[in-house]
Amino acid sequence: MSMMSSVVRWMRALPHRGSGRLCPVCKAEAKVFLPFGSPRRSEALCWRCHSLERQRFLWHFLETRCKPNYPDNADFLHLAPESCLATGLKRWYPTGYVSADLLRDDVDVKLDVTDSHLPDERFDMICCSHVLEHVDDDRAAIREIYRMLKAGGTALLMVPITEEVTYEDPNVTSPEEREEKFGQSDHVRAYGQDFVDRVMEVAGEHLSVVRPEDILDQESLLRMGINDRAGDIYLMEKPQASGQ
C-alpha cells in the first residue's frame, strides 16, 4: 500500500475512532470496523493494521491456542504472509519464522507450495490462509504442507467456502470467467463443504475444524469484528511417532 493510500485510509478512519470494537491483531480500538470489499461489507477492516475478519480470527486463535503450546524457538512457515500478521509472528518466533511466496520478492523464501524442495519435517507450524484456491493442484499442496510438518506439528489452513460442493473446471482460464464462476479472477476453484475431505485424504483423522463460535462468545465476536465472513480454521496435525 502506498503512503498516500495509507494517509487517505487513516483520514477516513478518523470518524470511527472510539471504543466498542477491539482488533485482536494490533489492539486498536474503534467505534466500528471500516467497510471494505466489493461488494462493500460493513465491519470488515481495522483502521490501523488493515486486518480483515478472517485475519482477526486467525490471530486470536494463534495467540490464545497455538502460542502457549509452541515456544519462541518454534519453526513457523507463513505462506503468502499477510503483513498485519507477519510483524507479530516474527516477534513471537524471532529465529524460526519463515515467510514464503511463489511470486513476491518481500519474503524469506520463494516457494512453490506444491513442490517446495524444503526438508521433510521442517516446521512446527505452517499457516496457509486463502492460498489453496489459487493453486492448480491443491491436493499436491496439501501433501507438501503435511510433508514439511514436524511430528507433533500443526498446519492451519483457511479457504473461502462458497459452495455446497467444490466446483472446478480446468477449462476456465480467463480472469473474467474465473471471477464469474469462482468469485475472483485469480481463483481456480470455488470450495465447498467437501474441502474437509481433501484434507482428510492426507491427514486422515488428524484433522479438526475450528469455527469462530467454538472459541468466542457472541459479545467477543462482535467486539473483534469476527463474523461469518471469517470462515473456519482447518487444523491438520501430524501425529507424534509411536513411542514418543
The residues facing 158 across adjacent strands are 129
Question: Percent of the chain, pLDDT > 90?
Answer: 89
**pTM, 2 dp:** 0.92
C-alpha–C-alpha distance, residues 41 and 229, integer Å: 10
Query: What is the structure's pLDDT at 8?
Result: 67
CA atoms of 65 and 236, how far apart (whole Å): 14
For 161, phi then psi, to 5°, come to: -105, 115
Cβ-defined contacts of 186-189 (< 8 Å, 24+): 186/134, 187/133, 187/134, 188/133, 188/134, 188/135, 188/136, 189/133, 189/138
Q: Burial-class residue 39 by CB neighbours within 10 Å (0-12, 13-18, 19+).
A: exposed
Task: Please tell me the predicted confidence (pLDDT) of residue 38.
Answer: 86
More confident residue, 170 or 15: 170
pLDDT for 11:
67
C-alpha distance from residue 77 to each of 27, 64, 107, 115 (Å): 24, 19, 11, 15
| Tens-place pLDDT, residues 190-207 | 999 999 999 999 999 999
